[in-house]
Structures are given as C-alpha cells and as structure tokens.
Homo-oligomer: A and B are copies of this chain.
C-alpha cells in the first residue's frame, strides 16, 4: 500500500525532526511520531478543528498517533525559516505559542501571574496573579459558553477559538473546581486531578502569604506508602496510604504510635496525602521537634470494591461498614505490618467532615482502641453532653483519665458549621471536659482549614504532658 513518507517537525525544538519512523502499520494506517513537549496545544487545536476528523483513533503516550490511511497527516508545516520563540525559564514569562498571538483576546493575565503549583508539568495555565485571581485558557473553538466553578469564572471567547477566564480574588488554599463547557461539567486536563466532590475534580492551589507549614522543605522526608491488603470484612483487596516518618527506615528497632486520619465525603484514601499534604505537615513538624515521629494511616472511609474503584457498596450509608473494616482489618494489618506501638495510648483517630463524624462514632464505640481524638469541621454527629462516650462526658475527671487528647477544629468561615462547633466547644467548657478548640482564621469548609487543623492537632499527640497518660 503506497503511503507518502511523513517528516514531522517540532516548532519548539527549532524544527528538529523528532522522528521519521513512520512506515505503515499492518492495518494500512500510518504511525506518526511527533514531539508533544510543546506541540500539544497546536495539535489539539488541529484535532478540535476536526482536521483529523475521526482519523485520530488512539492517543497513546503523548507521542504516537495512529492516523487512518488517506487522512490528512501533516501535523505541522515544514520547519519555520526563522527560529521560533523559545519558551522562557520556569520563572520567566510564558512562552508565546503561535496560536496565542491571535487578536482580540481578553482576560489576559498580568506579567506577575505565575502558573499554579497545582498545574500538571509543563502547563502554563491556569495562572495566579499577585491579587490571587486565577486565569484560565481553554481551547474550545465550537463552544458557546464556558465557565469555571470558581467565583467570577465566566469565559470570554477569542477570535481564535481560545477562551480566557479570570476569577475574582480567591481565598488562600486549595479549591476544587470544574470547567463547565456548554453544560458539561468536566475536569481541567491542565490541572492535577484529585478524587474529590465524588469524582475526579480539578483543583487550584492558591498561595497563602507567610504560611509554609504544608509545603515541601529541605528537611528529612518520610515516605507515603500505598499499601494493598486483603480485607475479610469486605472480601476485597483494599488500599490505604501510610506515612512512615523519616527515621523509620534507619532506626530499625524503634516502634511508633499511629494516627488514623480520615478524609471527607466525596473523597477517598488519597485525600490527606495529596490534597491535604499530610506528609509535608508531619515532616516539617518532626524536623522542628514539634511532633513526635508517628505513622499516619489514611484509608478509604467508604467501602469500595477493589483497589481501582468501582461502585460503592449499598444498603445503609456507604460509610457505615468502615467501622468494621477499621477495627477488624486495618488496625490488625497495620500492627502486624509496621513497627507500631499497638496499644490505645499510642493510637489516635481524627478526620475531617464525614471523617470527623466517623471519628466521633468509632471512638465512642471503641474507646478501648483509641486514647486521642480529633474532629475537623465535623458538623453533625457531635456526641451528646453528658451522655456521650458512654457517659464519660458527664464525668470530667474520668474522661481526662481515659482520653489523652480531644481536639475540635473548624474554619471560622464555615458559617453554620463554625457556629455549631463553637457551641459544642462552649458546652464542653461548661461541662469541664478537657479539650482543645481550634478555629482556623478566615477559612471555609476546605483543605486549608484541615491542613491547619492537622498542624495544630499532631503536636498534641503521644506526648508526656500534665494530665496526659503517657
């Protein structure tokens, strides 16, 4: 079968021929090797303008497209005579691909805007300016309406089919968002995706001036381990994540206390290590001598079949069966796999939102297993006073003997949830129950509240302190 030889140039490599190994496949298709390091935007424009129509059958690993015989296969023109604009360094201005020089664009970011740290490698958008406005750039020539689900995020379409969007100033911290394209709510391929809001959500990290306790620093780092284990309670292979502190692999005779740390509704076992940056928070606290080296176990508070997802179990609330999984499978597995201190004084449980509600339920019914308790933004499920904890909340002295740490955290901007947390705190005070109450200034029901809550909570754990049992 006769086919013309394709020579593919990459504009971003100065016209370098990246590959010309494109003899036809067995099925009469051509295999074209292209460079996508910077060509992706242009290629996508071509695809979306349907130059290939249905020709692009499989996009494999970013560098190979199979294009049906007879279809248009020229991705780029010949190498430009003049050297193309080179992208600048990481901190320099954004590269100016040919497609962005089209006229009549609006919502352009100012010069001080930088790619968000939550972008995928190489993505120049979204960008954030010094006023904490986020700028998006989406190629969608045929769309009639595009927005992002962040404050002010309406799109404006340029003559070149590129939509630009600018948001209102955003609060510092981590915000989930979706792109809504003509009514379809979808994830942004230029941002990292996270399992949150019950789906793969995009999110943008907005810097918080003067706050770096959750950022990676030049300190000893622990590992975040993905651990797969068979769970008798569900009959499935489950996955959890385990933070082991920096000295775990060198101090081979040491044993460690364990914090079981749960995510919120619509999230899963990945939440605390990715969205929450729990590993960096612990690394930094341990390096400063502010927290005791500990393991942190982050499991899936819903009951999911298998390691790769699938439908959640049904019957009752999907998270109720987690109690059995935690007590019968997870804790014994952790204590037999890792060098733990397997007693209640060296075991804590905490969680955010739904995970906090689970913490209240599980620690009340299993106080033989946990001596320290943290609730972050858990607006329903507060224990009764004085009846909670099997009546211990009516006996402050007995409660103090039995519970080493009781921590209640919330964001001051959480509205009704902040009000109810504050009321619970005041009721604990009135009842004489020893506890720590923390209100994160100005943050809502979002990860910045929970990062800060963990940062306040972890130093309290497993310490020998006045009134403590250790």
Binding site for B on A (CB under 8 A): 13, 19, 21-27, 29-31, 33, 36-37, 40, 44, 47-49, 54, 56-64, 66, 86-90, 115, 117-124, 138-146, 149-151, 154, 161, 175-193, 195-202, 205, 216-218, 221, 223-230, 237, 242, 249, 252, 264-268, 273, 279-280, 300, 302, 304-315, 317-318, 337-338, 352-354, 379-380, 412-417, 419-420, 444-446
A182-B144, A186-B189 known; A416-B31 Cβ under 8 A: yes
Q: Which of B47, B265, B317, B415 contacts A24 (CB 8 A)?
A: B415
Give 5 closest A-B pairs by Cβ, nearest first.
A62-B266, A25-B415, A140-B184, A142-B183, A193-B193
Whose C-beta in chain B lies nearest to the C-beta of A177? Answer: B59
A304 proximity list for chain B (CB < 8 A): 121-122
- Residues of chain B lying within 8 A (CB to CB) of residue A121: 195, 268, 300, 302, 304, 309-312
Report chain B residues within 8 Å CB of A189.
178, 185-187, 199-201
Complex contacts, A36 vs chain B, CB 8 Å: 197-198, 265-266
| A148 smallest CB distance to B (angstroms) | 11
Contact pick for A60, options B60, B154, B176, B191, CB 8 Å: B176
What secondary structure prevails in chain A residues at the interface with B? loop
Across the two chains, which residue of chain B brings its CB closest to A246? B337
Bound Cα distance A24, B115 (Å): 35
Complex Cα gap A139–B314 (Å): 24
Q: Which residues on B sit within 8 Å (CB–CB) of A144?
A: 142, 144, 182
Contact of A61 among B180, B228, B273, B446 (CB under 8 A): B446
**Interchain nearest-CB distance for A23 vs B (Å):** 4
Question: Are A311 and B143 in touch, CB under 8 angstroms?
Answer: no
* A87 to B412 CA separation, bound complex (whole angstroms): 37
Inter-chain contact A311/B122, CB cutoff 8 Å: yes
Residue of B nearest to A145 (CB): B142
Bound: A83/B140 CA distance, A: 42
Please state if A184 and B181 are interface contacts (CB–CB under 8 Å).
yes
Chain B min CB distance to A140 (Å): 3
Q: How far is the CA of A444 from the CA of B59 in the complex (A)?
A: 11
Residues of B within 8 A of A221 (CB): 227-229
Other-chain contact of A226, B175, B191, B273, B305 (Cβ < 8 Å): B273
Minimum C-beta distance from A203 to chain B (A)? 10
Do A141 and B183 have beta carbons less than 8 Å apart?
yes
Q: Which of A63, A139, A315 has the most CB of B within 10 A?
A: A63
Give the residue name and chain of the B residue nearest to A414 (CB): B31
Given contacts A24-B416, A143-B183, A216-B307, 10 further A-B contacts (CB under 8 A): A31-B417, A61-B196, A86-B315, A88-B314, A89-B314, A122-B318, A181-B181, A192-B195, A221-B227, A223-B223
Contact A62 B140 (CB under 8 A): no
Give the residues in chain B near A314, CB-CB below 8 Å. 86-90
Selected contact of A63 from candidates B145, B161, B265, CB within 8 Å: B265
Judging by beta carbons under 8 Å apart, are B60 and A446 in contact?
yes
A33-B379, A446-B61 known; A309 vs B117 contact (CB < 8 Å):
yes
Flag if B26 contacts A413 (CB, 8 Å): yes
Q: A186: nearest residue on chain B (CB-CB)?
A: B186
Report Cα–Cα, A286/B151, bound state, in Å: 51
- Rounded to whole angstroms, the CA-CA distance of A196 and B64 in the bound complex is 12
Judge whether B19 and A379 touch: CB under 8 Å: yes
Chain B residues contacting A446 (CB-CB under 8 Å) are 58, 60-61
